[in-house]
Structure 1
Amino acid sequence: MIIEKCNICPHACGGTRYEDKTEGSLCALPALPKILKSHLSKNIEPGLIGSKGSGQIVFAGTVLNDSECSVFDSESDNKKSRINGKKLAQMFLTLQKQGAANINLINPTAFAHLIMEALREQPLQIPVVYSSHGFDSLETLKQLDGLIDIYVPFYKYHHTQIAQKFAEAPDYPAKAQIALLEMYRQVGGLASNYKKGIEQGLLIRHRVFPDFSRESIAALHWLSHYLPEGTGLSLLTGNPYLAWGEEAKNKQPLKREFERVKTALQDLQMNVGYIQDRETGEFFYLDEI
């Protein structure tokens, strides 16, 4: 497999991605991925885990240069081999047989081409979840239409200067906003019975970091204004391992900062989805806070 003039993500760098190397590719990710994990997990939103867990497949490498994405940056791990579409399809089947509530593709953006191939190779009986960082190209998403049941993107940055500072991607807000609208067009919001388990719809994640409550509130205002009622939201707290640079590392948002964001959430009447407890990490339903 060779990807020439790559435009899979919004960088559209035009690089060439061979199976095991790249030329001129901004992400420096070959066409075939390495998989960090393929396992059942319950450490996410309750509506995605079912009885046995979400069948997570975590791709190595990232298209965004921020510290939150760096947890996926194990591309240079020579102990892990690259997989093709057939192997990926086999992973889908294995997780399905283990009782996974869904196939949850974590950090999938750079390998959307292979994901399409694998999903066409192996139709599934459980929902497919696309859990990205929100930096997805409109053209690629349109090609995924009909293959993805649940979109779970992040909406990380609302202002260009913040996106530039922490991800070197000033176009992140504009590109992510277009992507979110396309995702909603494809799968809609969460069904009214989403608490029993999500089978289809859009669930947008946003993480609140210390000293950035205003950024979070601005993001919530945009989501409330431009996405229809019923769109799911998952409001996450800061994480010492997934932080915005050194100034945010090893800190949770202060209680008053998080309460400020919660108040904005309630004022905007955004009550479909989840909120993560600032201290325990436990998830609660937005309409129950």
Structure 2
Amino acid sequence: MTANLTAPVARKPTTNAPSGPRRPPGRARVRAAVHSVLLAGLCLLVLVPFVWMISSSLKHDNQVFTVPTQWIPREFVWSNYADIWTQIPMLAYLRNSAFLAITISFLQVLTGSFAAYGFAKLRFPGRDWLFLAYLATIAVPWQAYMIPQYLIMEKLGLVNTHLSIILLQAFGAFGVFLMRQYYQSIPDELIEAARIDGLSEYRIWWRIMLPLSRPAIASLGLLTFVATWNDYMGPFIYFTSNELWTVQLGLRSFVGQYDAAYAMIMTGSVISVVPVVLVFLLGQRHFIQGIATSGLKG
């Protein structure tokens, strides 16, 4: 008997290399670095006017427009931030601006979200054409209907009252568009299930749509707040009494017939920016989420 003996085959030892994250190639890293540098440069360009405004608020009037620009004042005039409260009723102006901005923002969110629910989740004849017609009003410049609006408010006796600005700005096509875009990302099956459970359209809007649309509400509220806070022409046209002036009109008080208190104007501008920055910092997470989802969905 012969036995077939086969020699064992020598196998190469296998080593399990650790599977770590792959490093991007050198070209991709260079591209990422270039993008970071460009973004940093753009951010610095955006911040240059704010830095100049803060620097000018700490100078004397004759030092604001010196050439070359003095980014760091030779003498910090901190008294500007104390004098502005006595030279003009700054607190009253801030109170008026806050009242108008908060009230109009609330009404814009209320009316915009309610109308957007009808355009997004209800079916009725001519819905899309009506929405397009309403959206087309954004393209009409305010100067085209500024005079008719003023004549209407004058006939109603609302000129020189806060109610005139509130009524004119409580409704807006942009707010309806923004909320509708977000509502379209909410599944229709959820609305149908609520209707089967017996909820009315008003309760669906209040109990389901509004809680689910917090990012869009934050976006619309912040955009409306900033636009109302910075509005100059509306209060300038409708407010003749100094007690009703907003902070934007109040800063105009520092511009005289032959000269202007530029340092005080910059001081008031810095103070007027603080509430807007605080509002944005409080709602920036919902604001960015709402803008992203409203722009990509629908």
Compute the TM-score of the two structures, normalised by the length of structure 2. 0.20
* More strand per residue: 1
Bigger relative contact order (CA 8 A; separation at least 6): 2
Q: Whose Rg is larger?
A: 2
What is the TM-score normalised by the length of structure 1?
A: 0.20
